[in-house]
Chain A
Amino acid sequence: MKQLEGTEPIYIQIGDWLENEILSGRVKPEEKIYSQYKLSEIFGINPATALKGLNLLVEKGIVYKKRGLGMFVSSEALKLLKKERRGQVMTEQVRALVEEAKRLDVPIEELIKMIEKEMNKGGKRNDSMR
């Protein structure tokens, strides 16, 4: 059984985990996504909580329901997720990075160089960038 470790409500953690599964390509567009009972089994959580996690993705249009067949990843899923993550997650992380750079008196040119160096490291995409 997978362990959830975080202070966020469980259904939000489930939503994030599902999004990462899609972004990493483990579940592809137009494929069936984990059912609420499968999620319940994987994480040892109540099926109602698992369904709330799935519904977060339904509300965003990342997952859609096929009557009688279950829930599927939409063809737009990757586009939507990348857009959302760029908007929210990246902005937050850049803000934190810039604050730290200011505290340490790192000039902007050096910061950009550090970012470029990190991006060139280890070829195209590593796991932490997904």
Chain B
Amino acid sequence: MIRCDELTKYFNGTRALKKCSFEITEPTLTGVIGVNGAGKTTLFKSLAGFLKPTGGSAFVFNEPAFQNINVAQNVMLIEEGMQFYPKTSLYELIDSYQRFYKSYDVTLAQGLLNYFNLPGDAHYNQLSKGMASTFRLILALAARAPITLLDEPTTGMDPSVRKDVYELILKDYIKSPRMILISSHYLGEMEKILDQILLIDEGRVLEHGALEEFQHLFVAIKGSPELITPIEEKLHVFEGKDFGPGIRQIVVKREEFKNLHLWDEVKESITVNSISPEDSFIYLTRRKGGGIHELYDS
């Protein structure tokens, strides 16, 4: 069980998390999505007990997470910046983690090292960026920790390995269902293995729910400007684009659009398409006031 109550963290006056609240009580593969600097890594480090909250609290199994041994034994966090003892082989690193995590599956770790062609006697700092990411993921999944936090696990991996890795995470989750949170600034190829999304923006939770809710969030409406403009005036428009003369497209929230009472003739002359979750996040987290074009076209 994970719970954050108005979790707030400042670093030297700079906001990383601001009144971040959510709860996870069931096994899940949750995608933690947000732009760079949204607060994803700080959230993970707070849940792992590495950071002391400036305000609010982070609970794991009903205990405050910060420097709590019960929490530490149940949470596995990997991130790009984690430090390992130098001059220690990958085998030895796995062995040291195996001593700490009760359910550690060493056979799985060794099988995965072989599968991904990682030499067990190599040192961590000899690995390429992508291989180091693969090793951290192996280390984390084999821990079988009830709460597994994967911060940008595919950094530096090439596309074929990334695909394998998502399949691996899904298989491991099905074999041993637990709370696995994966952070990423983009959702694309990861989407299909997830069941929940936690959308972080400017240090707070913007949305938290089933993947499907995001698939229904926005619609793109296309038609002649005479039909689109009156709709545009009534709704909050997230994006408006002209496709040559006579065709205009706007992006609006599905719910708002559904509540409009349009004439049947209008309905039949416009097309309505769903927006992918990936693009929905872009609309949700877009900074207020215009896009890049406003910087150049003024």
B-binding residues in A (CB < 8 A): 1, 4, 7-11, 37, 40-41, 43-49, 52
A46 to B173, CA, bound (A): 9
6 tightest CB-CB pairs across the interface, nearest first?
A: A9-B215, A48-B195, A46-B195, A45-B192, A46-B193, A9-B212
Could you write out 20 A-B pairs with CB less than 8 Å apart?
Answer: A7-B276, A8-B274, A9-B211, A9-B212, A9-B216, A10-B192, A10-B215, A11-B212, A41-B174, A44-B166, A44-B192, A45-B170, A46-B29, A46-B170, A46-B193, A46-B194, A47-B195, A48-B195, A48-B210, A49-B195
Task: Check B215 against A43 for contact (C-beta < 8 Å).
Answer: no
A11 to B276, CA, bound (A): 13
A32 to B89, CA, bound (A): 49
Chain A's closest residue to B213 (CB) is A9
A40 to B170, CA, bound (A): 9
Q: Is B172 an interface residue (CB 8 A)?
A: no
**For residue B193, which residues in chain A have a CB less than 8 angstroms away from its CB?**
44-46
A37 to B177, CA, bound (A): 12
A105 to B240, CA, bound (A): 35
**For residue B215, which residues in chain A have a CB less than 8 angstroms away from its CB?**
9-10
State the total of A-B contacts with C-beta under 8 angstroms.
Answer: 46
Task: Check B273 against A7 for contact (C-beta < 8 Å).
Answer: yes
**For residue B274, which residues in chain A have a CB less than 8 angstroms away from its CB?**
7-9
Given A46-B195, A48-B195, also A1-B276 (CB < 8 A): no
Task: Check A44 against B167 for contact (C-beta < 8 Å).
Answer: yes
A-binding residues in B (CB < 8 A): 28-29, 166-167, 170, 174, 191-195, 210-212, 215-216, 273-274, 276
Task: Check B170 against A49 for contact (C-beta < 8 Å).
Answer: no
For A1, A8, A11, A48, which residue has the most chain B Cβ atoms within 10 angstroms?
A48
A50 CB, min distance to chain B CBs, angstroms: 10
B268 CB, min distance to chain A CBs, angstroms: 10
A9 to B280, CA, bound (A): 13
A28 to B125, CA, bound (A): 56
A90 to B191, CA, bound (A): 32
Given A7-B274, A9-B274, A11-B212, also A49-B192 (CB < 8 A): yes
A1 to B170, CA, bound (A): 13
Given pairs A1-B167, A44-B193, 15 additional interface contacts (CB within 8 A): A7-B273, A7-B276, A9-B212, A9-B274, A10-B191, A10-B211, A10-B215, A40-B170, A44-B166, A44-B170, A46-B29, A46-B170, A46-B211, A49-B211, A49-B212
**For residue B166, which residues in chain A have a CB less than 8 angstroms away from its CB?**
44
A1 to B167, CA, bound (A): 10
A8 CB, min distance to chain B CBs, angstroms: 7
Pick the contact of B192: A4, A8, A37, A41 (CB < 8 A): A4
A43 to B192, CA, bound (A): 9
Given A4-B192, A9-B212, A49-B195, also A40-B174 (CB < 8 A): yes
**For residue B29, which residues in chain A have a CB less than 8 angstroms away from its CB?**
46
A10 to B276, CA, bound (A): 11
Chain A's closest residue to B276 (CB) is A7
Given A9-B215, A11-B212, also A46-B192 (CB < 8 A): yes
Chain A's closest residue to B273 (CB) is A7
Chain B's closest residue to A1 (CB) is B167
B281 CB, min distance to chain A CBs, angstroms: 15
Chain B's closest residue to A52 (CB) is B212
For A9, A37, A46, A47, which residue has the most chain B Cβ atoms within 10 angstroms?
A46
**For residue B216, which residues in chain A have a CB less than 8 angstroms away from its CB?**
9
**For residue A45, which residues in chain B have a CB less than 8 angstroms away from its CB?**
170, 192-193
For A4, A40, A43, which residue has the most chain B Cβ atoms within 10 angstroms?
A40
Task: Check B174 against A37 for contact (C-beta < 8 Å).
Answer: yes
**For residue A46, which residues in chain B have a CB less than 8 angstroms away from its CB?**
29, 170, 192-195, 211
Task: Check B174 against A47 for contact (C-beta < 8 Å).
Answer: yes
A40 to B195, CA, bound (A): 12
